[in-house]
């Protein structure tokens, strides 16, 4: 019974870890709700009225979510600085509330300063956010000069409550977050293996659904790997240890993605295209059950289940004989041990399972330290020796400083000017709609500019906020009718809605806006200002604020979506060329390079591009052809990034890996691919560029590889396959991007 209970708890833990990597959303929700609840409790004991309770709750929420630094010491400094900023802001709000024009001008200046403060990093962003939100709070509760002492006291209580929750009750240290992210990576890796197992067993009419699950699992695993990379510097003080974890995470991700591709190929009538794993909605290739004996399929299914078990138990401290036996059997496939008699594509899957098991072993050693080696087979011992040699070769490196734009070209300056203009329009229009609640339009205009960088992004964010607000108004009407004047019931529901708001915020901006608006309906009820007209006015002010934001973004120092995506696309292509050239250079016998850092920069650039193309790929986009093109280009780039990462990971093995040797011929064979990447980048930067993409013989023929070479006989052949697919994907980019093709060379 105890074992069963532990098993259930482990499965529940893994499911939660996979759904919320690092428990970041859960932690943010609990910390914010706890700070608000503590603030309400203290203020109630002090005999505060409802207006002070609402002000305290809003201040606690702002003091909690505004802080974004990773280290607790930096968080404490920002929170300490935030309190006087909040007190000054609420004082000015109370003083200027009755002075119409002076108050409006100051509000616009405050908004400009708050946005401009983002150039100073997380602390500047937090202090600007606190200043703006607390000034908004003073307008919301109708702060007056006579009530300032008690209002400032409520804000001080809120900040103290936030500090107590942040540093004592729900602390989130970089080391703890990284530990939870590692658990999430393992859980998502196990989920991906489960999806791959379903792909193996899927009937032909279920292949599209099974493939979509593998595609989603691959993307989720990559997302978690990126989150770990972002946390490594702060969460692992030892630079060598951080780079080791980064390397092992990359190995596991590459091995898992490659295993999915091998499985798909084994089920296909022909070689599966890597693009299929990255293009949403791409149909599965024509498939059929592998022409292998049932016992071979059963063995393959058993080994995939064993790999999933190995992943899940890798971090549990369980190193028993049974687990060691499973590990040894899977690693044996790397040495061609016990390979069943089957078509080459099916044997490749078994080898892929062996490589995945090796990556899990490396991940376990990197994360959990040395393991018991008493049950090792020769194949396992060889894998350990390879991993130890690789670990010893990992060294730290410095990252180059990035050039920053100045003046109005600086993103923070441009955004500050835009939001100031948009807020001015929102104030004028908002006061025409309502002289009492015009600030809702300003709030919406402010929010649509947060974390956006182009007119298209602002348009999509404004649409999502308006949609969430409309549905939130309906929910607010229902909840207000149910709650009536029951103060503590309303506050209880407010806490639930705030938790939901923070939990879903990274997943859906529309849902977040829904919960915010529903919560405001309850706050209006508590302030005895609730009515259907008020909530409908909220929709009108939201629509006005979003429109003002879009107008300001489109007319004042505009950054068109096309320009933004082209800039990011050029960056991705530059990073891709750097990784490919450096990896091939090292594989050709050149000097060692910082391939881990270059691959990480490529992944980050691709993530930025993926986010920037959301306005182009959003369902409401009327230009369907453009939407399909954007998705196709991003999927091709993800395919290119996968092959480039794999080349970089292979190059990192030199000169420590006993079975890998440099091949000088690779540099010449890959030259065309690098030139093509640079040609496409030049065309993206200047549509009048005259260069053309080269085509011609395959990479293998350029290298002079023998057709009879065993598929896994030499590491060069594996490198060749990745180079060939990278070359194909790069040439494939030329057509949707309008880059002309050169005549094939004879």
* Predicted pLDDT at 655: 58
Please report, for residues 210, 216, 260, 289, 329, the alpha-carbon distance to residue 195 in angstroms, rounded to integers and kept in the order given. Answer: 7, 9, 9, 17, 22
- In the block, residue with structure tokens 């700070």: 35
Mean pLDDT of 441-464: 83
Residue 429 pLDDT level (bands cut at 50, 70, 90): very high
Residue 267 pLDDT level (bands cut at 50, 70, 90): confident
The two tokens of residue 489 are 């019931």
Contact 666, 718 (CB under 8 A): no
DSSP 430-492: HHHH-SSSTHHHHHHHHHHHTT--SHHHHHHHHHHHHHHHHHHHHHHHHHHHHHTT-HHHHHH
pLDDT tens string 112-157: 999 898 888 899 999 999 999 999 999 888 888 989 999 999 999 9
Residue 520 pLDDT level (bands cut at 50, 70, 90): confident
Mean pLDDT of 308-326: 71
Distance of CA 677 to the CA centre of its chain: 26
Cα–Cα distance for residue pair 39/502, rounded to 1 Å: 18
Phi, psi values for residue 408, rounded to 5° = -70, -10
Q: What's 272's DSSP letter?
A: P
* Predicted pLDDT at 390: 60
* Predicted pLDDT at 84: 97
* Predicted pLDDT at 482: 82
pLDDT tens string 659-679: 666 777 777 778 888 899 999
* Predicted pLDDT at 411: 77
What count of other Cβ atoms lies within 10 Å of the Cβ of residue 503?
21
Residue 401 has pLDDT above 50, yes or no: no
Here the contacts of 71-77 (C-beta below 8 Å, separation 24 or greater) are 71/173, 71/174, 71/234, 72/166, 72/167, 72/171, 72/173, 74/122, 74/123, 75/166, 75/167, 76/163, 76/167, 77/123
What count of other Cβ atoms lies within 10 Å of the Cβ of residue 36?
27
pLDDT tens string 485-512: 788 888 899 999 999 998 988 888 889 9
Task: List, in order, residues 6 or more apart from 463 with CB less than 8 Å away.
Answer: 546, 620
* Predicted pLDDT at 585: 87
More confident residue, 716 or 510: 510
The 3-state DSSP class for residue 743 equals coil
DSSP 283-302: PPPPB---SS-HHHHHHHHH
Cα–Cα distance for residue pair 573/2, rounded to 1 Å: 54
Contact 264, 218 (CB under 8 A): no
* Predicted pLDDT at 709: 42
Return the sign of the alpha-carbon dihedral for residues 479, 484, 487, 489: negative
* Predicted pLDDT at 257: 92
Residue 553 pLDDT level (bands cut at 50, 70, 90): confident
Mean pLDDT of 609-634: 79
Cα–Cα distance for residue pair 97/75, rounded to 1 Å: 31
DSSP 61-115: HHHHHS---SSHHHHHHHHHHHHHHHHHHHHHHHHHTT-HHHHHHHHHHHHHHHH
Residue 336 has pLDDT above 90, yes or no: no
Q: How confident is the prediction for the chain on average, in pLDDT? A: 83
* Predicted pLDDT at 198: 92
* Predicted pLDDT at 403: 41
* Predicted pLDDT at 715: 57
* Predicted pLDDT at 5: 52
Pick the closest to residue 372 from 323, 307, 310 (CA basis).
323
* Predicted pLDDT at 67: 92
The two tokens of residue 678 are 């640079």
* Predicted pLDDT at 307: 92
pLDDT tens string 718-737: 778 888 889 889 999 988 98
Residue 711 pLDDT level (bands cut at 50, 70, 90): very low
Cα–Cα distance for residue pair 701/703, rounded to 1 Å: 5
* Predicted pLDDT at 161: 96
């Amino acid at each position: 019974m105890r074992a069963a209970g532990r098993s259930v708890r482990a499965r529940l833990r893994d499911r939660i870890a996979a759904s919320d990597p690092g428990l970041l959303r859960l932690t943010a929700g609990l910390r914010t709700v706890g700070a608000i609840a503590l603030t309400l409790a203290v203020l109630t004991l002090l005999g505060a009225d409802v207006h002070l309770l609402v002000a305290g709750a809003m201040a606690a929420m702002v003091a909690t979510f505004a802080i974004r630094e990773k280290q607790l010491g930096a968080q404490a400094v920002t929170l300490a600085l935030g309190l006087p900023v909040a007190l000054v802001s609420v004082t000015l709000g109370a003083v200027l509330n009755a002075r119409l024009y002076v108050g409006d001008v100051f509000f616009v200046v405050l908004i400009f300063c708050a946005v401009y403060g983002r150039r100073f990093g997380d602390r500047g962003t937090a202090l600007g956010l606190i200043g703006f939100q607390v000034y908004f709070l003073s307008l919301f509760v109708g702060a007056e000069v006579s009530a300032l002492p008690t209002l400032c006291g409520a804000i001080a209580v809120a900040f103290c409550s936030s500090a107590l929750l942040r540093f004592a009750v729900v602390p989130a240290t970089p080391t703890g977050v990284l530990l939870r992210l590692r658990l999430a990576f393992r859980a998502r890796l196990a989920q991906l293996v489960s999806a791959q197992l379903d792909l193996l067993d899927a009937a032909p009419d279920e292949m599209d659904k099974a493939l979509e699950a593998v595609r989603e699992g691959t993307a989720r695993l990559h997302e978690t790997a990126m989150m770990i990379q972002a946390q490594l510097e702060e969460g692992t003080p030892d630079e060598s240890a951080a780079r080791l974890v980064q390397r092992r995470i990359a190995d596991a991700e590459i091995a898992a993605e490659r295993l999915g591709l091998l499985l798909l190929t084994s089920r296909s009538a022909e070689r599966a295209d890597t693009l299929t794993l990255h293009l949403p909605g791409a149909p599965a290739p024509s498939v059929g059950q592998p022409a292998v004996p049932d016992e071979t399929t059963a063995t393959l299914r058993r080994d995939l289940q064993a790999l999933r078990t190995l992943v899940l138990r890798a971090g549990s401290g369980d190193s028993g004989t049974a687990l060691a036996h499973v590990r040894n059997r899977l690693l044996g496939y790397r040495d061609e041990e016990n390979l069943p008699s089957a078509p080459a594509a099916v044997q490749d899957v078994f080898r892929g399972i062996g490589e995945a098991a090796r990556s899990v072993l490396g991940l376990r050693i990197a994360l959990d330290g040395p393991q018991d080696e008493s049950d090792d087979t020769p194949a396992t011992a060889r894998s350990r020796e390879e991993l130890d040699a690789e670990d010893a070769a990992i060294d730290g490196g410095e990252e180059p400083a990035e050039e920053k734009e100045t003046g109005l070209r600086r993103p923070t300056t441009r955004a500050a000017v835009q939001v100031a203009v948009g807020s001015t329009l929102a104030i004028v229009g908002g006061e025409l709609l309502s002289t009492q609640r015009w600030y809702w339009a300003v709030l919406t205009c402010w929010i649509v500019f947060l974390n956006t960088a182009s007119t298209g992004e602002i348009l999509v964010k404004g649409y999502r906020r308006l949609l969430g607000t409309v549905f939130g108004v309906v929910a607010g009407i229902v909840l207000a009718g149910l709650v009536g004047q029951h103060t503590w019931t309303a506050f209880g529901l407010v806490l639930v809605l705030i938790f939901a708001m923070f939990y879903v915020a990274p997943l859906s901006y529309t849902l977040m806006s829904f919960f915010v608006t529903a919560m405001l309906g309850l706050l209006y009820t508590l302030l005895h200002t609730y009515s259907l007209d008020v909530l409908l006015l909220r929709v009108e002010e939201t629509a006005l604020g979003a429109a003002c934001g879009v107008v300001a973004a489109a007319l004042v120092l505009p950054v068109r979506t096309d320009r933004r995506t082209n800039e990011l696309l050029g960056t991705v292509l530059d990073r891709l060329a750097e990784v490919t050239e450096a990896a091939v250079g090292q594989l050709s016998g050149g000097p060692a390079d910082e391939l881990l850092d270059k691959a990480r920069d490529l992944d980050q650039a691709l993530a930025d591009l993926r986010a920037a193309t959301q306005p182009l790929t959003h369902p409401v986009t009327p230009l369907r052809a453009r939407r399909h093109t954007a998705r196709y280009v991003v999927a091709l780039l993800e395919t290119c990034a996968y092959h480039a990462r794999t080349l970089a990971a292979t190059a990192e093995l030199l000169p420590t890996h006993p079975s890998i040797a440099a091949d000088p011929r690779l540099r010449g064979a890959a030259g065309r691919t690098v030139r093509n990447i640079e040609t496409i980048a030049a065309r993206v930067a200047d549509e009048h560029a005259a260069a053309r993409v080269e085509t011609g013989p395959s990479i293998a023929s350029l290298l002079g590889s023998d057709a009879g070479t065993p598929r896994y006989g030499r590491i060069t052949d594996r490198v060749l396959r990745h180079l060939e697919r990278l070359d194909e994907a790069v040439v494939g980019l030329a057509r949707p991007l309008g880059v002309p093709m050169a005549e094939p060379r004879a």
